[in-house]
Amino acid sequence: MPGILLDTHALYWLVSGEVELLEEALVAIGENQEAGTLFVSPVTAWELSVATKKSRVAGRPNLGQDPPDRWFREAVRATSARIIPIRQRISYEAARVVTDTGHKDPGDCFLIATARVRRMPIVTRDGIIQTIAAERAGYLDLIAC
């Protein structure tokens, strides 16, 4: 396996323990931590920053006293994850995700594009991403968390 990509919720739940991850996801995460092939996207830092600004408490991540940038850096360090840079190829693919699937969430589109370009499964519990993977055979590999 070339590695796995954690989506934003998977990273947040893994570090915070706020939601328990499924056994299959935890095994894959552990194996990839050991192999040095656990990845996150800088889009996750952006999504966390945006989510902390939500006016509703429901859905807002609890990062403690840390600002989002520090929390993200510490989460990456604590999980031994590596950051996949967003380059031109991933950006083009993110635009294709919109036209291929109709999905318009920019964060999700960049995460899906990153997984597709790097040919690695994405660890997620996101219902829309799971539907895309289920309905489009071979389009996206997924590990439910």
**How far is it, in rounded angstroms, from Cα 121 to Cα 40?**
12
Using a pLDDT cut of 90, give the percent of the chain over it: 87
pLDDT of 53:
82
Cα 59–chain centre separation: 16
| 93-114 pLDDT, tens digit each | 999 999 999 999 999 999 999 9
The dihedrals phi and psi of 67, each to the nearest 5 degrees, come to -70, 160
How does DSSP classify residue 102? -
pLDDT of 6:
98
pLDDT of 25:
98
pLDDT at 55 > cutoff 90: no
pLDDT of 64:
80
- The domains of the chain are located at 1-145
How does DSSP classify residue 57? S
pLDDT at 1 > cutoff 60: no
Instruction: Give the sheet arrangement for strand 38-40, strand by strand.
Output: 82-83, 38-40, 4-6, 122-124, 142-144
Asked whether the whole model's pTM tops 0.85, one would answer yes
User: Tokens for 3?
Assistant: 């590695």
pLDDT of 96:
97
Scanning the chain, the segments in alpha helix (DSSP H) are 8-16, 23-35, 42-51, 68-79, 88-101, 106-118, 127-135
pLDDT at 120 > cutoff 70: yes
Could you tell me the pLDDT band of residue 65, with boundaries at 50, 70 and 90? confident
Reply yes or no on domain 1-145 having CATH 3.40.50.620. Answer: no
Mean pLDDT computed over every residue of the chain: 94
User: Tokens for 7?
Assistant: 């989506």
| 32-47 pLDDT, tens digit each | 999 999 999 999 999 9
Q: Maximum Cα–Cα distance for the chain, whole Å?
A: 42
